[in-house]
Amino acid sequence: DACGIGFVANLKGKKSHEIIKDALVMLENMEHRGGCGCEKNTGDGAGILIQIPHLFYKEEARKLNIDLPELGNYGTGLTFFPKNEIHKSACREILYNVAKELNLTILGWRKLSVDNSLVGPIALSGEPDIEQIFIISNYHLEDADALERKLFVFRNYVAHKIHKEVENTKDLFYFTSLSTSTVIYKGQLTTWEVEPYFKDLQNELTESALALVHSRFSTNTFPKWKLAQPFRYMAHNGEINTIRGNVNWMRTKETLLNSSLFTKEELEIILPICDPDQSDSANLDNVVELLY
């Protein structure tokens, strides 16, 4: 009676394409746990979270003359851009300015290969341009966790600035994830559209030792590309009726935030953590991510 969630993992951590294929089959078998509109090919949202397929990305990046460092030394993620070229250009300018401000370097972008021929008109009306970002730190960090924290600050700071400074981007500019370890393929799709839409998922070099899938049944928010799940740290299959109170309580706690792992300036520019326009699950994920 709620969203469908599935998880597949190899207990020994062995990566394979089979893990991803099995997860996508499971996702398709949960089509009844997701919502759709009057068009059977416009869904409430579906997606998959996997480990970064480093060998596949390294080969794809090489074709673009991007030399990726070893896994854990770079961040990557899928970026939703508005299709309007003026707005997209403005978003990109902010991305580069913030990267420079935070002492990060954007190595380059990869236009994602997608097939939207099966996607319904309503979903297509909100379809973003999807590009993959590759980003590194300009200075040595002690481990991947340190870079992960820098990417967390970068992603939040960029999103806040773009949503504030570039019109009509609140729903159209979005990082599905930005991480040194995981990547998320998702959209306002049905469960059976995820694999054919994202051609990366069909490639045998796309390997992972785990996969988390989600079929969304929209409850307290309308379907949007950015509200499809999984989110960056979790997937959720219920409705939190205390969402407004939870968001307000989180706002009251933000002035008390303190951490030895973040500077005062970093904590300021990532705020606010929650967004009243997001779903209950999205805001829960935002807080889980911050605490993690």
Peptide bond into 230 cis (omega under 30): yes
Residues of 236-267 as b/e, b for ≥16 C-beta within 10 angstroms?
bbeebeebeebbeebeeeeeeeeeeebeeebb
3-class secondary-structure state, position 164: helix
Is 274 in the active site?
A: no
Structure tokens at 259: 């951490």
3-class secondary-structure state, position 97: helix
Peptide bond into 121 cis (omega under 30): no
Measured CA to CA, the distance from residue 283 to residue 277 in angstroms comes to: 9
Residues of 69-101 as b/e, b for ≥16 C-beta within 10 angstroms?
eebeebbbbbbbbbebeebbebbbebbeebbee
Measured CA to CA, the distance from residue 146 to residue 180 in angstroms comes to: 10
Instruction: Supply the residues annotated as catalytic.
Output: 3
